[in-house]
Amino acid sequence: MALFDDGPVSPVRPRSTGRRVGWIVLGVALAIALILALMPAPYVIEKPGPVFNTLGSTKDAEGVETPLISIPDQTVYPTKGSLDMLTVTMLGNRESRPSWLNILSAWMSPSEAVIPLDDAFPPNVTTEQQQQQSQIAMVDSQQDAIAAALTNLGYTFPAFVTVASLPTDSPADGILKPDDQIVSVNGTAIASVDELRAALAASGAGKPASIGIIRDGASMTVDVTPVDIDGTVVAGINVSTTYEFPFEVKIQLDRVGGPSAGMMFALGIIDKLTPGPLQGGETVAGTGTIDESGTVGPIGGIRQKMYGAVDAGADWFLAPADNCSEVTGHIPDGLEVFAVSTLDESLAVLDAINTGADTSSLPTCPVG
């Protein structure tokens, strides 16, 4: 019998079915996680936005460089350094929401904030309507900043309450018109928005209020029945305060909305109308609303604005005192923050920086 040796025979190894299934499950899980991460989230993100030096220039829509503040018919003094106004950029809206991956990244960043979509963009307000309201707020804040600055410098001028617009389904629709000047409510003279609110509250909701107006130079009286919205009596009009300033002050800033630049605009105007740099040529940033009397009010996005100030090279920051609860414990390294409630307090801080005085006695937010 002949035997033939065909060489060594390789052992048969069964395929690792379990390992293959494991990789498939992992791949599917990763794919699902990626899909979920890229899905739109019910949030938007606030992050530091552009910084504008109110003593400097900006480019308009046509790319032409224009001073943020110009006062053509008055003596304007040289300025030095920066008085920076800060902005917040909103990532997302109802039409384009950020992904969960974006949201996770924002949660991990101290300079960003995650805001519920409904808080940032109320369901009954369109993105376009909100942008329009923001632009109106910016225009009003600029006028209030001019009024606060000129009042601080000793100028006097008349002020008027004017209808800016009427929202949808307003009880004043067809009765009041934009540009109507409101002079009285039930015979009580009106010279400010606060006085209008108080007069409407005293009149009450559900019954006609006699509103005196000036339209196209003619005086007349109309009846509007205010309504109660969340405990506030309103006539269904958006109003603003207009002023007859003794000279022209132009503020040029496109594509930025909201009222939070008021205080820094007021400081910039004062700096230009008075000799010597208010802050000694330093880089000072700040934020806050302002009214014609010089009262500084709270704003949104204070933490993002502090990080924007640091990125712009500021060492000093003026924060509304009413925002201190959001400031405490969140101040970026290298930034000294002062709490201010009035334009005079802001000027006192700038004077201390200018003269090199001890700033330890100036108001600050409590340390967390």
Region 141-156 average pLDDT = 95
Do residues 265 and 141 both lie within one domain? yes
Region 339-343 average pLDDT = 97
pLDDT at 254: 73
Most confident of 43-47, 87-91, 343-347: 343-347
Residues in CB range of 297: below 8 A, 6 or more apart = 288, 289, 290, 291, 320, 322
Closest CA to 148 of 295, 253, 284, 249: 295
pLDDT at 165: 86
| H helix runs in 312-342, sequence order | 324-327
Does residue 135 belong to any structural domain of this protein? Answer: yes
Q: Identify the domain boundary among 192, 224, 243.
A: 243
Does residue 310 belong to any structural domain of this protein? Answer: yes
Give yes or no for a contact between 59 and 65, defined as CB atoms under 8 angstroms apart.
yes
pLDDT at 33: 56
Question: Cα dist. 65→160, 252, 255, 344 in Å?
Answer: 33, 10, 15, 31
Stated pTM of the model: 0.81
Structure confidence at residue 22 as a pLDDT band (50, 70, 90): low
**Does 74 score more than 90 pLDDT?**
yes
Do residues 209 and 273 both lie within one domain? no
Give yes or no for a contact between 308 and 264, defined as CB atoms under 8 angstroms apart.
no
Do residues 287 and 326 both lie within one domain? yes
Do residues 237 and 287 both lie within one domain? no
pLDDT at 102: 87
Do residues 334 and 272 both lie within one domain? yes
**Does 38 score more than 60 pLDDT?**
no
Q: The domain spanning residue 149 has which CATH number? A: 3.30.230
* Least confident range of 24-38, 42-56, 212-226, 255-269: 24-38
Does residue 341 belong to any structural domain of this protein? Answer: yes
**Does 245 score more than 80 pLDDT?**
yes
Q: Which residue has the higher pLDDT, 16 or 178?
A: 178
Does residue 111 belong to any structural domain of this protein? Answer: no
Give the range of the structural domain holding residue 140, as residue numbers without chain letter.
47-89+126-154+247-355
Residues facing residue 52 across a β-bridge: 85
| Count of structural domains within the chain | 2
Do residues 135 and 259 both lie within one domain? yes
Region 9-18 average pLDDT = 55
Does residue 71 belong to any structural domain of this protein? Answer: yes
Do residues 148 and 269 both lie within one domain? yes
**Does 32 score more than 70 pLDDT?**
no
Structure confidence at residue 131 as a pLDDT band (50, 70, 90): confident
pLDDT in tens, 169-198: 889 999 999 999 999 999 999 988 889 999
List of E strands, 79-178: 82-91, 113-116, 159-165
**Does 41 score more than 50 pLDDT?**
yes
**Dist. CA 291–CA 295, nearest whole Å:** 6
Do residues 265 and 345 both lie within one domain? yes
**Dist. CA 139–CA 136, nearest whole Å:** 5
**Does 12 score more than 60 pLDDT?**
no
Q: The domain spanning residue 198 has which CATH number? A: 2.30.42.10
Does residue 167 belong to any structural domain of this protein? Answer: yes
Q: What is the DSSP letter of 315?
A: S
Region 135-142 average pLDDT = 82
Region 124-134 average pLDDT = 73
Q: What is the DSSP letter of 99?
A: B
Average pLDDT along the chain: 87
Does residue 335 belong to any structural domain of this protein? Answer: yes
Token pair 């030095």 is found at 80
Of how many residues is the chain composed?
Answer: 368
Region 274-288 average pLDDT = 95
**Dist. CA 171–CA 200, nearest whole Å:** 13
Token pair 């910084």 is found at 51
Do residues 269 and 199 both lie within one domain? no
pLDDT at 15: 54
**Does 31 score more than 90 pLDDT?**
no
Q: Look at residue 61 and give its three-state secondary structure.
A: coil
One-letter amino acid identity for 320? P
Q: What percent of the chain lies above the pLDDT cut of 90? A: 58
pLDDT at 2: 39
Instruction: Please state, as a whole number, how many other Cβ atoms lie within 10 Å of the Cβ of residue 70.
Output: 14
